Structure 1
């Protein structure tokens, strides 16, 4: 018998969060950024550090410190500790684990966090030690970079689906429209499809506007039970169900792990794709937004082009996605980038998203992906959260 990857986490909530704006300049060590984000999330949740008894942490440039060292530096005394190394999927993986921990009674209040910096020395170490796949399969052919890997993915996706660069340009332009409302977005000026198509090539067919801008930053969220959250008397994001899977990616089959679990995810939370008010999708490249829309059954009838033709996109659109602009416009702070979809989804369902708020948002889907090899991402996941009383009780 195969055990389902989908986990019912109804009864757990995200009670607080802090997301530092991504900086283009590596002016502070990652551990200092982490400390600021953790302190901000704890304060936002209306609690104090002594109430935290669980900690999940990820990031590529926090070494030589390990999770226990970082907890000690932060003044946390915990009984549930979860180091996270699935890259951009680590945030979602950590939040799912934290939700399970508070529901099982293994912890009462868990902080999930990540931080990274882009100083030259840290980036050099990361590129040299990222993975054996990079070192043995990709580096010898000059392909040990994310744009090259996703160029392979985009070419195969286009061959199979007919998705064009113009279609992906429409995705990028839609997200830029959302970013124009986000005061902390790195890129807010309008982006047209012709601008996208005319941008310099990075790794054919990947162009400049397909790529996230790397930066330094950190983010954190606080997870607790609904019962525990009643003490803090503030809006919280109610977690419903999610999954996190690893090693399922196949560029040859053009599937990465979401498709196999989408139906079970919606069944577990009693919500279908059309019940979702907001889609917050991990967007290291527009092609991955397209792939997730497809694998998670969010395109409806037809492919990406029909979806884009049929719907009006943006914060006020019929199917709002990546409502803060996504990492393509906010920037990507390494492993902390995985919190971009989660935090924005939590803001939306608690109606705290400011100018990027979707009116009446009641349920949101957030995703993550990370740890690429020659086949693409090997860690992926999805999580549904909502306002209270939405979906299956």
Structure 2
């Protein structure tokens, strides 16, 4: 296992507003992110010699997405990477960029995710959906997560007031986020969550994300190069764990158990931390139950104890464990497959001390997670955990 390192840093970030059916292309949205980063850091575009791009839904049919995007941004690169891990792609991109920098393949990397899924709906994609899921009514992630919730409730019991608390906490944070999508800019009560309609029993409409358009990104370089460029703000990736296709050969694997049982402890060990040391938690939140499962499997509480942990912990931006302080995808909107970078950029913003009225006190570290792909009769396919430190 690698020791904790601070030789590579995130030195800038950018994010577009999240918009429902905004009509802008993924190229246009990514351009805005790059412009923000250049303006924020004062770095010349010619300094960027690497790019790491997340796959999209809106550009699904484009086999040269990363190359064409770099061209559109006017970047000549020595290292190009595209990640097809869904919501786990951006956190994975940070670590891959760090490795490329350490290997001398490039010096400064733009890690960017951009998607216009609500404006440019994708063609049908995804493993066995046609053969196995659709005939029995499991229409993609909503159906699968409804089944996962049913199983969790059968095994451990599920207090829906805990999910209601998560929904309200994130909505309160989203109300303070100027980039959150306009349609979600409305206060929410726990009763309103509990009264919302079921879409895949016991999953409610307010359990899941609203697909939108948007982009986000960060600039990654070596600590030495950051000093050369005169950059004053930096956060360091000090711990990482990643698992894809957890227990893929176990045909009877528990669908409530994910790769976070491995990736979480691995990231914490590398960072020299325990869950109790985590100052902020920015989990991937396509569904509220995913947050609860991550809390349990990373080690914040035991199996089946997620409901009580949530009910007994202040998760507000002023609380003991601030949770998705920008509202997360559920209350800011999911910018397609750029959703994996949404909470990461919020963590960086917090650690730069630039979160405005939702600023966390003492943002010394943050845990960010990613989830990717929902297969049939299994838990999600990709799980990763990234720990950032000042």
TM-score by length of 1: 0.91
Corresponding position of 1:381: 384
Corresponding position of 1:24: 20
Corresponding position of 2:110: 111
Distance 1:135 1:312, change over 3 A: same
Moved more, 189-198 or 12-21: 189-198
- In the TM superposition, residue 104 of structure 1 has moved relative to its aligned partner by 2.3
| 1:279-314 Cα distance to aligned partner (Å, 9 max, x none) | 001101100000111111113797123213332220
Aligned equivalents of 1:322, 1:192: Cα separation in 2: 18
Corresponding position of 2:305: 303
Aligned equivalents of 1:245, 1:260: Cα separation in 2: 7
Aligned equivalents of 1:177, 1:103: Cα separation in 2: 40
Answer yes or no: is the 8 Å Cα contact 1:9–1:242 preserved in 2: no
Corresponding position of 2:327: 325
SS of residue matched to 1:132 = coil
SS of residue matched to 1:263 = helix
Aligned equivalents of 1:35, 1:26: Cα separation in 2: 15
- In the TM superposition, residue 41 of structure 1 has moved relative to its aligned partner by 2.3
Equivalent residue for 1:282, pick from 284, 287, 290: 284
Aligned equivalents of 1:297, 1:141: Cα separation in 2: 35
RMSD between aligned alpha carbons?
Answer: 2.0
TM-score by length of 2: 0.91
Answer yes or no: is the 8 Å Cα contact 2:157–2:304 preserved in 1: no
Distance 1:184 1:315, change over 3 A: same
Corresponding position of 2:190: 193
- In the TM superposition, residue 116 of structure 1 has moved relative to its aligned partner by 1.1
Moved more, 244-253 or 153-162: 244-253
Corresponding position of 2:232: 234
Q: Which runs of 5+ in 2 are unaligned?
A: none
**Deviant stretches of 4+, over 4 Å:** 6-9
Aligned equivalents of 1:246, 1:305: Cα separation in 2: 26
Aligned equivalents of 1:153, 1:9: Cα separation in 2: 37
Q: Which runs of 5+ in 1 are unaligned?
A: 388-393
Aligned equivalents of 2:242, 2:19: Cα separation in 1: 29
Corresponding position of 1:391: none
Corresponding position of 1:354: 356
Q: 1:1-393 maps to which residues of 2 (within 5 A)?
A: 8=4, 10-58=6-54, 59-62=56-59, 63-64=61-62, 65-119=64-118, 122-125=120-123, 128=124, 130-186=125-181, 187-230=184-227, 231-248=229-246, 252-299=254-301, 303-374=305-376, 375-387=378-390
- In the TM superposition, residue 353 of structure 1 has moved relative to its aligned partner by 1.5
| 1:40-98 Cα distance to aligned partner (Å, 9 max, x none) | 22332321221111111122222424212221222111111111111111111111101
- In the TM superposition, residue 142 of structure 1 has moved relative to its aligned partner by 3.1
Aligned equivalents of 2:24, 2:71: Cα separation in 1: 19
Aligned equivalents of 2:241, 2:40: Cα separation in 1: 26
- In the TM superposition, residue 7 of structure 1 has moved relative to its aligned partner by 8.1
